Structure 1
């Protein structure tokens, strides 16, 4: 039986391991974390609607339910030409026939980035956002700045949706407490039209939401640096803030950047449509570790990472003669799809080459996302089948 090792225990890596096991391979998942953080529902941790334990799933439980081997260790180096990788505790490893790299991405390092907190960071970082919001609520006033950045070398490596969601949830949380009038909320981004990849109609609806919620907006200004209590732009203007929630654009993972695998200028894996790393027959790239080719509006999302994982499993199975059929590609599945939660409702965002829409879902949207969170956990633990 062929041995396949998956590096990375995030959304893409876990789905890849599950799909490979279904194809009948001997699968090992290696992760430096012992749990899968479900980022789409971690947006409720800062406002206390969910605890951190409610938005993560122990990898051991998934591995036991799905039948793959789990190793908790940190990958320190990959040598593709030597068909090996290295672990912090486990040392050099060569015991695999195929390798799937799903290590995720790092973040661009802005000057003073240590003065910010990201909603797409570690569990500890997300909890720090909650602690700071709790402190401001206790003081009954404050200034909060929410923003995200871009990467000109990898325009698809942007995480804007979660920032919008946490900001809208904080707005409604403060409103419920009767404190919203005491807080100044400002959104900022270096691009002139953040959210433009969702289409013009979506932009107009977002404009309306900002106005209705009384959220200030500063866009089109490049960020110079962050201080403990401010965001400073290159034109000399600034935002004063007691809390800066900022998610930088993605950058290539250090292990990928330092490897001999084929990479883009930004340090992401250069992959074929089949998810195979260019120039390597037995190495594949999934999710945020890989560069995504496609239309200008493309974006890395969890559902695309899962699609890439299933395509990788299918293509290896075809290659090994376990199943018949043609090889599959990820590019035809590129779209933007997310249920954007606002705390008191939501909106369904969807974008393809032929369609761009943002459908308001008052009240029901919030509960639909809650239901998705339950479904996702049960599915990963093998208790209910995957619906799509």
Structure 2
């Protein structure tokens, strides 16, 4: 039985482990935390609509459900040529036939980042955001800014959706409490038209929502630094705030940057369409990279999302089986590139979709919120094997 080592316990890593175990491979999964975190539904932790435990799935339970081996540890270094992975515990892993990199991305560094919290950062930050909001609610007023940044070296590494969702949910929470008029809410981003990659209809809808909800917009200026009481922009103007939630763009994982793996200018692992890292002679190596850690090639509007990571994971499992059978009918991710987002507002949602042929937006007042809630339960139960996976999800 061939051995496969998977680094990372997020959407990409976990799904590849599940698929490869079904194909009877000996699979070892390395994760730096002992739970799988459902990031898309973490937006409700700060508003107390969900508890932290509701967003976590125990990796030990997932291990028992699917039969892979589990190591809770951090990756210290990777030496691709020597077929060796070293963990923080000093454990060396070199007995594997295939290596799958699924450790996610690092974050772009900004001056004063310690004065911000991110809904897409370490899971524990969702609790800290909740505490900051509680503090302002107890005070009865405040200025709250939320936004995201970009990576000029890789435009696919931006993640703004959760920022929009959290802002809308906070607005809805404050409105329910009857104190919305006491708070100044501002959404900021360095690009002049954040959300443009979703399509022109989405851009118009977002602008309409901001205006109708009384959320100020601060777009088109790069952030110079973050301070405790505000954000300094490139023209030295200052947005005064009591709390800042900021989602920095993704950047190449430091372990990857320090390795001998091929990367793009942002430090993401370069692969072919089949997610395989090519050797120096342009032949396929025994290493695959999936999810946020990989360089995503394609359209200008492309974006790294969980469902694309899952497509990559399923394809890699198929491609490894094909290789071992001496076949070359590999499956690529490029034809599956799209943006799919159920943007929750706390009292409804809107479904956004874009591919190379079309872009559309479907408003889902009230019931859209509960559809996303239902997806969170589906995600948990389906990964535990307690309900069947829906094709394409």
* TM-score relative to the length of structure 1: 0.98
Q: Within 2, Cα distance between the matches of 1:214 and 1:366?
A: 21
Residue pairs, 1:133-282, within 5 angstroms? 133-279=133-279, 281-282=285-286
Q: Within 2, Cα distance between the matches of 1:221 and 1:215?
A: 17
Residue pairs, 1:297-308, within 5 angstroms? 297-308=301-312
- DSSP-derived class of the 1:81 partner: coil
Count residues in correspondence. Answer: 387
Give CA-to-partner distance per residue, 1:42-79, whole Å, 9 cap, x none. Answer: 00000000011100101111111011111101100000
Q: Within 1, Cα distance between the matches of 2:204 and 2:93?
A: 52
Give CA-to-partner distance per residue, 1:244-268, whole Å, 9 cap, x none. Answer: 0000000000111111011111100
Q: What residue is the counterpart of 2:354 in the other structure?
A: 351
1:333 matches 2:336 = yes
Q: Within 2, Cα distance between the matches of 1:221 and 1:123?
A: 28
Contact 1:23 1:314 in 2 (8 A): no
Give CA-to-partner distance per residue, 1:139-197, whole Å, 9 cap, x none. Answer: 11000000100001010001100000000000000000001000000000000110000
* TM-score relative to the length of structure 2: 0.97
Q: Within 1, Cα distance between the matches of 2:70 and 2:291?
A: 19
The Cα RMSD (Å) is: 0.9
265, 285, 310: which one aligns with 2:289: 285
Q: Within 1, Cα distance between the matches of 2:81 and 2:169?
A: 47
Q: What residue is the counterpart of 2:2 in the other structure?
A: 2
Cα shift at 1:91: 2.1
Q: Within 2, Cα distance between the matches of 1:196 and 1:186?
A: 18
Q: Within 1, Cα distance between the matches of 2:182 and 2:336?
A: 45
Q: What residue is the counterpart of 1:365 in the other structure?
A: 368
5+ residue gaps in structure 2?
A: none
Q: What residue is the counterpart of 2:79 in the other structure?
A: 79
Q: What residue is the counterpart of 1:62 in the other structure?
A: 62
Contact 1:73 1:90 in 2 (8 A): no
Q: Within 1, Cα distance between the matches of 2:229 and 2:362?
A: 36
Q: Within 2, Cα distance between the matches of 1:348 and 1:242?
A: 32
Cα shift at 1:325: 6.9
Q: What residue is the counterpart of 1:88 in the other structure?
A: 88
Quick check: 119-128 or 367-376, which moved more? 119-128
Q: Within 1, Cα distance between the matches of 2:87 and 2:212?
A: 51
316, 319, 323: which one aligns with 2:320: 316
5+ residue gaps in structure 1?
A: none
